[in-house]
């Protein structure tokens, strides 16, 4: 039994055309017109399968096959939103593989032992509000109504307002929180977004842990002045301070932190951002990740010390804000073992590995047993137009997902 890869790729080709940036990657933010187009297409496919579809307060989609069976579901899926100018495969591959798994099980007329539920998480990337996995955080009860009213985008619009504007019943957020007794297991198929599988010549990654992360906004304020008339020893330059801190964090991560710790500064703004003016203010964002929380805490403490020291040395005012956090998660031995067993039975080349990227699956560990399947990203590229995963790898991942779901949700006497 195998997925229909051509049908799945036809779905993908249709959806990747729903982008705000044609010719320059996929830009499909949650709650955008492109997101709405994608949802309408997926709803049409779900209707063909007779799935029972629910859209919750934040926009997560839950589509169930086998509603007559009163048992906890096996949940499969991922997300459909992207970063700006992102790739075709991130998130969407897992959603379409999940849809294809349900199609095949239905076409084969297999008898379910428990329902199968396709989940599509909203706002996984954090492109609107700077908070990753917002949909799964709401679904698992980490964020409530007051949080959604206070979290805003760069234009000052809250999650609550935007959700209301697209017709979501956001006041029902507490009612829509997932109960533990609703779900037996959750499996997410995802592209690796790195080069580990390709480097090791493996087709399948069996994920055993997902990195935790913290994201900090650092603000340094100094004294804006003329670039030509202000002596070097009289300057209060926040950009010099920021560059010193950033350089120290990179060096510390390489030489003093755990081998699994990674630190990134990927966004920086400078005011007034003119060639002949000493900056007044600099803001930059620090992304710290590790599968061991002590690695994240080590860098977080280094950041605190550096901001204090550099602010004093350069006569600056420094402030650190924690704007996002998630704990590292060990995935379920039951599901990890099952994925591994099915990969062996299928003679898939596989390896156990950790995920440096955060995923909705990490949030779901609070509610159920979770597993993840990775498939290779060519050259490790992701979150960019060059993101690519080969057809044969997508099929291998989809087939493996199918056999894992079959083991969990189909009667044992059906081969």
Residue 340 assigned to a binding site: no
For residues 183 and 190, what is the distance between their CA atoms, to the nearest angstrom? Answer: 20
Residue 79 assigned to a binding site: yes
Give me the half-sphere count of Cα atoms (radius 13 Å) on the Cβ side of residue 19: 22
For residues 6 and 382, what is the distance between their CA atoms, to the nearest angstrom? Answer: 23
Range list of H helices, 143-268: 145-150, 159-165, 196-199, 238-255
CA dihedral sign, ordered 245, 246, 247, 250: positive
Residue 359 assigned to a binding site: no
* CB-count exposure of residue 111 (10 Å: 0-12, 13-18, 19+): exposed
* Sole residue written with tokens 């379920």: 332
Nearest partner of 221 among 343, 133, 307, 118, judged by Cα: 307
For residues 34 and 96, what is the distance between their CA atoms, to the nearest angstrom? Answer: 17
> Reduced to 3 states, what is the DSSP secondary structure of residue 142?
coil
**Positions at the binding site:** 79, 90, 125, 190, 383
Binding-site residues for Zn(2+) sit at 79, 90, 125, 190, 383
């Amino acid at each position: 039994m195998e997925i229909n890869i051509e049908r799945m790729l036809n779905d993908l080709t249709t959806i990747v055309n729903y982008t705000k940036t044609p010719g320059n990657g996929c830009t499909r933010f949650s709650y955008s017109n492109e997101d709405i187009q994608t949802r309408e297409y997926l709803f049409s496919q779900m209707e063909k399968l007779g799935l029972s579809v629910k859209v919750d307060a934040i926009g997560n989609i839950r589509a169930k096959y086998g509603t007559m069976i009163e048992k906890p579901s096996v949940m499969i899926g991922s997300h459909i939103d992207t970063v700006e100018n992102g790739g075709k495969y991130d998130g969407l591959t897992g959603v379409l593989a999940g849809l294809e798994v349900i199609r095949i099980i239905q076409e084969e007329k297999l008898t379910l032992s428990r329902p199968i539920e396709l989940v599509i998480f909203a706002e996984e990337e954090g492109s609107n509000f700077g908070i990753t996995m917002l949909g799964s955080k709401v679904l698992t009860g980490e964020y409530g109504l007051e949080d959604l009213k206070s979290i805003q985008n760069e234009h000052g619009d809250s999650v609550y307002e935007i959700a209301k504007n697209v017709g979501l019943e956001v006041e029902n957020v507490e009612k829509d929180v997932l109960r533990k007794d609703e779900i037996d297991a959750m499996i997410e198929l995802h592209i690796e977004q790195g080069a580990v599988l390709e480097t090791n010549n493996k087709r399948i990654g069996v994920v055993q842990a997902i990195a935790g992360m913290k994201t900090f906004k650092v603000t340094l304020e100094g004294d804006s002045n003329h670039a030509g008339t202000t002596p070097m020893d009289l300057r209060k330059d926040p950009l010099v301070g920021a560059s010193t801190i950033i350089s120290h964090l990179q060096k510390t991560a390489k030489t003093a932190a755990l081998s699994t710790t990674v630190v990134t500064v990927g966004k920086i703004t400078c005011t007034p951002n003119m060639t002949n003016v000493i900056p007044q203010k600099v803001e930059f964002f620090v992304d710290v990740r590790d599968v061991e929380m002590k690695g994240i805490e080590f860098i977080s403490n280094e950041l605190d010390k550096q901001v204090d020291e550099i602010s004093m040395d350069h006569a600056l005012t420094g402030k650190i804000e924690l704007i996002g956090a998630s704990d590292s998660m060990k995935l379920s031995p039951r599901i990890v073992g099952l994925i591994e067993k099915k990969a062996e039975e299928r003679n898939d080349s596989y390896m156990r590995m950790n995920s440096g990227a955060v995923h909705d699956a990490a949030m779901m560990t609070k509610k159920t047993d979770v597993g993840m399947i990775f498939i290779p990203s060519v050259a490790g590229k992701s979150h960019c137009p060059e993101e690519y995963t080969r057809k044969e790898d997508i099929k291998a991942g989809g087939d493996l997902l199918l056999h894992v779901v079959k083991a969990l949700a189909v009667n044992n006497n059906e081969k």
